[in-house]
Amino acid sequence: MLTGCLYVISRPGSRNHDPGSWVNMGSRPCGSPGCSNGAEATFDGHSLCPIHFYTVASQRFEVYRARLAEGDPVGADRTKILYFVSELISATTILVASVKSLVPEQRDQFMQLSLSAAELYKRVQRDPRIARNMPILISPSTGSAGKQELTNTVDVSKRGACIATYGLWKADEKIWLQRPQSSLRVLARVAWVRKSSLTQSLIGLEILDCEDFWKS
């Protein structure tokens, strides 16, 4: 999870010991109230210094990531998220390339934010999910066959699915998927987990090694 806090690290002979060290770096003042730093990025219609850009962008990113955990966006909601991540990727790329005074830790944070935004973009752009209730066998990628669970899909897409489960799964965990009466087994990543009742959860899956598991 992104922290929303940009490193400000002191280097010998530099003035990077506080946020004021960004003053006059940009040709415009930062638009954040009370900040006298120079603006180096334009984001969401505001000119911001790197520190306030990171704070605003990372906080907004977490809002949209939480929104996607509730389900796939559609219509204006989908367009809004796509516009946000496109702007975020562009702005972070420009900052990393043009702001010479960033220390390595700061560049790493901007790059991580950009990579996370790219993943979010792919999540929104993916093929639409179709409501489909069908039996499916799931099991841990590192576990034994005895831990296999027979459950049902809630919806499916070309490279993913939402599945109801009584198992305890964690985000980024790898699991096996297999349809009953089929010998084909594919590896999937748990993208998100959401509790649906006291005993059952819904998990969103990204299929990793099959182009279209549901048609094969």
Claim to verify: residue 151 and residue 97 sit in the same structural domain? no
Residues 113-128 pLDDT 10s: 999 888 888 878 776 6
Q: How many domains does the chain have?
A: 2
Which tokens is 112 given? 């991580």
Claim to verify: residue 135 and residue 117 sit in the same structural domain? no
pTM of the model: 0.53
Q: Give residue 21's pLDDT.
A: 36
Residue 3 lies in a domain: no
Claim to verify: residue 146 and residue 49 sit in the same structural domain? no
Spell out the long-range contacts of 109-116 with Cβ–Cβ below 8 A and sequence spacing 24 or more: 109/6, 109/7, 109/54, 110/50, 110/54, 112/2, 113/2, 113/54, 113/57, 113/58, 113/61, 113/88, 114/88, 114/89, 116/2, 116/61
Claim to verify: residue 134 and residue 109 sit in the same structural domain? no
Residues 23-82 pLDDT 10s: 334 468 888 888 988 888 888 888 888 889 999 999 999 988 888 777 677 778 888 888
End residue of a domain, out of 100, 125, 150: 125
Residues 91-148 pLDDT 10s: 888 888 888 878 888 889 999 999 988 888 887 877 667 888 999 999 998 865 558 8
End residue of a domain, out of 71, 101, 125: 125
Q: Which domain holds residue 168?
A: 130-207
Claim to verify: residue 112 and residue 154 sit in the same structural domain? no
Claim to verify: residue 37 and residue 102 sit in the same structural domain? yes
Claim to verify: residue 120 and residue 196 sit in the same structural domain? no
Spell out the long-range contacts of 40-43 with Cβ–Cβ below 8 A and sequence spacing 24 or more: 40/95, 40/98, 40/99, 41/91, 41/94, 41/95, 42/91, 43/87, 43/88, 43/91
Residues 171-184 pLDDT 10s: 889 999 999 988 88
Is the pLDDT at 152 greater than 60, yes or no?
yes
Claim to verify: residue 43 and residue 118 sit in the same structural domain? yes
